[in-house]
Structure 1
């Protein structure tokens, strides 16, 4: 098993006021999930469901109060030194806001080359060639490496973020709302690109989103969060259309008019009612 999240609970401390003492605000409650190598798990939920916090816990950015995060069978919060460095190499992320995720003073070459500098011993010529190859892999040109972030569109900059994430051929990439800020054309391109990279490089994804249509397009299986808990999960993503849980129905309502499979079912159900 590539990733195991076991009964993770996490809370943020709320600010103390004159009228009340500080207290823990629960964000995650006994969350468990698994992800096998080569798979994509879609983690769905509305704003505030806790899915991005869970992503941070998995990435090692937020240590949970209780529970375990096992990545490649190692407890991410108990390993240290070279062992933790090796795990971090195999775990990368792409976030929603591509502009804030990069240093505006760095060129595309420097942005994509950062993980290579940290983990690989390449000559300057070898690294430049590698960056050019990565740019072409995500649909840009090798010559784009001299450009700065403000010279790219949002969709292009997200491709650069993806190029940086795949530079080390990681085992798992956490994609946190990575297409939600893009228009439909760029969303489609990025989803197609992610699917191709998954097949070509044997990547695994944790795809965090509120967009059930995007998750259905990319993912192999789905899980739905509400108020810090996983309330429903689907090993076969098609089974999500049969869920009776209110949180799932709320997410489905946003995509039903566009989904031919469900439109047909909805018309049939209406005719029988």
Structure 2
């Protein structure tokens, strides 16, 4: 049974235009359907404006779609009681791109990690402290980081705290919305390693939203291509992706750039990701 099912989701935005008699309607999502099984990662790849973040908001329950359903753990997330909704929120977490805007700058790391525990768990002060220290250590930080504020961490360290917060309630699914795209290459690699390790250790499922094909291939079990609000295809392997001749997939493949300009021939780009 699928952990998450997205069924026929459509959503559009209306923007007002000066000096025009009619407002303009932009179709953000067009009949999107897919599923994610427990313990797997679906990478959702697309350029800016493809509809990736809108889809993420729909799945998280932030943006109600105009048509379609989001079924999580057998429940339509937009048509459930408040008690079920609370349970689903616990099991569905998110890590956003901007690690700094995702936290309260006036909270210490300890308070940031305590917040979800206080909302959902009944723990003593000592139990909360032990849990928070354990979470910090699980993501490569330590007890000495408890009293630090966000500005005292690097971007990579703060993203580790956001990941620790996301796993604190032992969720079933985490939406990773461009969660490594703002990090340098070394830090990005370390965070991806951490995400893979956590996925294996806790049986987590991920929706990995990104424009970075290398990052997507490094963590995803399946890969979906989103373009102009449409889900072009979902590929179960690299071979399927690289053999596809769909124009949208070809454009994504052509966007691959290795680190050094001398290596930027088409063949070397493809070999870089395949490896």
> How many angstroms apart in 2 are the aligned matches of 1:128 and 1:238?
47
How far is 1:22 from its partner?
Answer: 2.8
Aligned counterpart, 2:230: 229
How do 1:105-120 and structure 2 match up within 5 A?
Answer: 105-120=106-121
Match of 2:81 in 1: 80
Please give the alpha-carbon distance, in whole angstroms, between the structure 1 residues aligned to 2:230 and 2:88. 26
Q: Is the 8 A contact 2:43 2:207 kept in 1?
A: yes
TM-aligned CA deviation for residue 180 of structure 1: 0.3
Offset from partner CA, 1:27-65 (integer Å, 9 cap, x none)? 001001100000000000000000110000000010000
Question: What is the CA distance between 1:257 and its match in structure 2?
Answer: 4.7
Residue number in structure 2 paired with 1:89: 90
Contact 1:211 1:251 in 2 (8 A): no
- TM-score between the two structures when normalised by the length of structure 1: 0.93
- Once residues 253 and 202 of structure 1 are traced to their aligned partners in structure 2, the CA distance between those partners, rounded to angstroms, is 34
- Residue number in structure 2 paired with 1:243: 244
Give the equivalent residue in structure 2 for 1:166: 167
**Matched residues in 2 for 1:265 and 1:39: separation?**
26
Could you tell me which residue of structure 1 aligns to residue 134 of structure 2?
133
Q: Distance in 1 between matches of 2:122 and 2:16?
A: 46
What whole-Å deviation, never above 9, does each CA across 1:96-121 have from its counterpart, x for those lacking one? 00000100000001111111111000
Q: Output the CA distance in 2 between the equivalents of 1:195 and 1:205.
A: 10
The 2-side partners of 1:230 and 1:186 are apart by 30
Change (3 A) 1:263 1:101: same
Distance 1:109 1:238 in 2: 45
**Range that drifts further, 223-232 or 244-253:** 244-253
| Shift in alpha-carbon separation, 1:264–1:227, aligned structure 2, 3 A | closer
Tell which deviates more after alignment, 243-252 or 111-120: 243-252
Deviations along 1:228-271, whole A, 9 cap, x unmatched?
A: 00112102243211111222122222336579xx847979xxxx
Instruction: Check whether the contact 1:224–1:231 (CA below 8 A) recurs between aligned residues.
Output: yes
Cα 1:264/1:148, change in 2 over 3 Å: closer
Match of 1:271 in 2: none
Whether contact under 8 Å (2:41, 2:220) holds in the other structure is: yes
Equivalent position of 1:148 in the other structure = 149
**Cα RMSD for the two superposed structures:** 1.8
Distance in 1 (CA, whole Å) between partners of 2:56 and 2:238 is 20
Residue segments in structure 2 that go unaligned for 5+ positions in a row: none
Residue 258 of structure 2 contacts residue 269 of structure 2 at CA under 8 Å; is this kept in 1? no
TM-score where L is the length of structure 2: 0.92
- Aligned to 1:146, the other structure's residue is in SS state coil
Where in structure 1 are there 5+ consecutive unaligned residues?
Answer: 268-273
Stretches of 4+ aligned residues off by more than 6 angstroms: 264-267
What are the Cα deviations for residues 149-185 of structure 1, in whole angstroms up to 9, with x where unaligned? 0000000000000000000010000000000000000
Deviation, 1:26, is 1.0
What secondary structure does 1:2 align onto? strand
2:4 aligned residue:
3
1:232 touches 1:245 (CA, 8 Å); kept in 2? Answer: no
* 1:83 CA drift (Å): 0.6
